[in-house]
Amino acid sequence: MLSNERGTLYVVATPIGNLADISQRARQTLAEVDLVAAEDTRHSGRLLAALGINSPMLALHEHNETALLGQIMQRLDGGQCIALISDAGTPLISDPGFALVRELRRQGYAVVPIPGANAAITALSAAGLATDRFLFLGFPPRTGPARRRLFEQLATETATLVFYESCHRLQDCLRDMQLGFGPQRRAILARELTKLHETFIDAPLAQLVERVSEDADQRRGEMVLLLEGNTDQPADPKAQDAERVLKILLQELPLKQAASLASGITGLRRNDLYQLGLEQKTEDRGQRTEDGRQKTDFCVAARQIK
Ligand code: SAM
């Protein structure tokens, strides 16, 4: 691959467990480049050997990535092509390579992705959670207080949440998730993806915590944790305001008049306010509404009053 032009850095995804997931393009690229920069040359050496590839290798990991920048650029300047791989999956995704790719792009070098496996996307693709919006958060902090703070901050997030976690921290992490997101939040533990013991457990956090503590097998191997986004309806400030106004007026006026006045004050429909007033009165009497509900909560009221 030597030429007068600058060489290219190929960012090559490798399998996350099942060797058959290597793409034809990845195979060809790894075989043809002048150098394979790998996170762990011993680990990736086994992959290359299994693929019958004997390209030269260089160790590039988080501790030497910046120090190797000069050498990599020199090689690219000399026309060499280089493949960047990590231990598994897509480089840069919770793996080394970001500093290198950012600098090469900044300096106008060609960086070409060779796509393939990624644990987060693989888990998402089969978990059955919403995929239209998701937030990938990599590994949560290792210490309890920082982890709990993060989960508290994420509690109202409506997008599906995707985390990587190590088997050693799984139980602590799940317990903190239960504190931050509540015991009923739907969670999925996607384990050993593409491997023999691939497992998906789909349960509310409280049940998942129990299941994982009872069954040591669920704490083994590699895992992705996914949480359904917050599905609570946000409180509508306009509806809350109307409810408050109506409540005050109802203390002095008959319902019809109170609804009419509240409509004038808030700009919401009189009929909707009348209905809300009826429900407030029922609630105040501690009775159930006809369909058996105790009360109309803010969210339902917000949806009704349009
Ligand atoms: N770059 C990789 C990717 O594209 O998915 C991720 C590297 S990160 C250092 C390793 C973490 O990814 C593991 O701790 C686990 O959370 C997740 N992971 C990797 N392979 C997995 C698999 N086969 N099944 C489930 N999770 C996996």
Which residue among 183, 201, 227 closes a domain?
227
Same domain, 161 and 180: yes
Question: pLDDT tens digit string along 259-273?
Answer: 999 888 888 888 889
The answer to whether residues 200 and 269 belong to one domain is no
Number of structural domains found in the chain: 3
> What's the one-letter identity of residue 177?
M
State whether 148 and 102 are in the same domain: no
190 CA to centre of ligand 1 in angstroms: 10
At residue 4 the predicted structure's pLDDT band, cuts being 50, 70 and 90, is low
Yes or no: say if 10 and 90 are a contact pair by the CB < 8 Å rule: no
| Structural contact between residues 250 and 281, judged by C-beta atoms closer than 8 angstroms | yes
Residue 189 lies in a domain: yes
Residue 107 and residue 19 share a domain: yes
Domain assignment present for 302: no
Could you read off the pLDDT of 11-46 as tens digits, one per residue? 999 999 999 999 999 999 999 999 999 999 999 999
Residues 245 and 266 in one domain: yes
**Nearest in space to 53 (alpha carbons), one of 40, 39, 35, 71:** 35
Average the pLDDT over each of 64-73, 146-155, 254-263 and give the range with the smallest value: 254-263
Quote the Cα angle for 260-263-265, to 5°. Answer: 115
Distance 40 CA to ligand 1 centre (A): 15
Return the number of other C-beta atoms located less than 10 Å from residue 91's C-beta.
28
Q: How confident is the model at residue 290 (pLDDT cuts 50, 70, 90)?
A: very low
Q: CA 188 to CA 190: how far, in whole Å? A: 6
Assess if residue 248 is contained within a domain.
yes
Of the two residues 129 and 243, the one the predictor is more confident about is 129
195 and 250 co-located in one domain: no
Atom of ligand 1 nearest to the CA of 191: 25
Nearest atom in ligand 1 to 192's CA: 24
**Which residue's entry shows tokens 């006045």?**
261
Q: What is the CATH number of the domain that holds 69?
A: 3.40.1010.10
Give pLDDT tens digits for 213-230.
999 999 999 999 999 999
Q: What mean pLDDT do residues 181-207 have? A: 98
- Which of 196-205, 235-244, 264-273, 292-301 comes out lowest in average pLDDT? 292-301
pLDDT at 279: 82
Is the residue at 154 inside a domain?
yes
Q: Is residue 292 part of a domain?
A: no
Which pLDDT tens digit goes with each residue over 79-138? 999 999 999 999 999 999 999 999 999 999 999 999 999 999 999 999 999 999 999 999
Query: Considering Cα of 59, then 62, then 63, then 66, what sign does the dihedral take?
Result: positive
How much is the pLDDT for 15? 98
Please give the share of the chain, as a percent, with pLDDT higher than 70. 90
Residue 304 has pLDDT above 50, yes or no: no
- Candidate of 94, 139, 142, 218 to mutate for ligand 1, largest count of ligand atoms within 8 Å of Cβ: 94
Average per-residue pLDDT for the chain: 90
- Of the listed ranges 108-112, 192-196, 275-279, 301-305, the one predicted with least confidence: 301-305
Position 245 pLDDT exceeds 50: yes
CA distance 305 to 276: 9
Domain that holds residue 252: 237-286
pTM of the model: 0.80
| Per-residue pLDDT at 285 | 63
Mutate to test the pocket of ligand 1, among 11, 16, 191 (most ligand atoms within 8 A of CB): 16
Considering the domain architecture, whether residues 195 and 217 belong to the same structural domain is answered as yes
Residue 137 CA to ligand 1 center (angstroms) comes to 13
Kindly give the number of the ligand 1 atom that is closest to the alpha carbon of 139.
16
Start-to-end C-alpha separation, the chain: 66
Ligand 1 binding pocket, CB closer than 6 Å: 16-17, 86, 88-90, 93-95, 118-120, 164-166, 190-195, 222-224
What CA–CA distances, in Å, run from 135 to 75, 154, 160, 176, 181? 36, 10, 6, 18, 15
Which of 238-242, 264-268, 291-295 tops mean pLDDT? 264-268
The domain boundary residue, chosen from 227, 250, 271 = 227
